[in-house]
Amino acid sequence: MKAVKVVRDPTTIKILADLVRKEILRLTAIKPLTETQLAEKVLLTKPSMSHHLRTLLKAGLIKITKTRVGPHGILEKYYEPIAKLFIEDWEKVPPELKRYFLHSHMERVRGMLSVFYLIAESQGQKIEIRSEEIERLAQEIAKRVAIIAEKYENVETNVDRETLLIKIYSETLKMMITEIKWKDFFPKIINC
């Protein structure tokens, strides 16, 4: 499976803004699943799941990887994404949807900075990161993560989705650490 698909089409980006669809892509990246299996895992009715799957199929984000006849003679289709990760090109995200994607970036930034916080705490030091710094950092990462992700776009991989996501975010953060406009922010968390 391809490692990453950078999504540049605003219509497809809108499809990715839906939390249910994000979860379908996450679950099927772990292993191919049927409509029934997905409906059970996501706690949706089969008609609702069918709608989401049709939307993802039409957008070319998932594919049917195999079919088999189930125990009741019904043909079961197994779905998987075309890539382990889908990363939106921030410049192509419709303005009304940026807040949905920014929230995800902020959560990931908090996770990364939590590690620095724990390291500082273990060394008897304290760092303080303000809310506006988290949001600003998340916006900057959102702008750059697609640039890093492009390196993995045409690469086949068996690497776990979460490992790949951590790798891409780490590389993005590493790129930002060297930028002049972040020179005052990063020393306070790295030099602890």
- pLDDT tens, position by position, 29-57: 999 999 999 999 999 999 999 999 999 99
The DSSP code for 129 is: -
Domain residues for the domain of 37 are 2-86
Segment 74-113, tens digit of pLDDT: 889 999 999 999 999 999 999 999 999 999 999 999 998 8
Chain center to CA of 169 = 10
**Number of domains the chain contains:** 2
Residues 148 and 119 both lie in one domain: yes
**Are residues 175 and 100 part of one domain?**
yes
Pair 113, 50 in one domain: no
142 in the same domain as 105: yes
What are the tens digits of pLDDT across the range 54-70? 999 999 999 999 999 98
- What is the value of pTM for the model shown? 0.88
Q: Are residues 95 and 170 in the same domain?
A: yes
Contact of 182 with 18, CB cutoff 8 Å = no
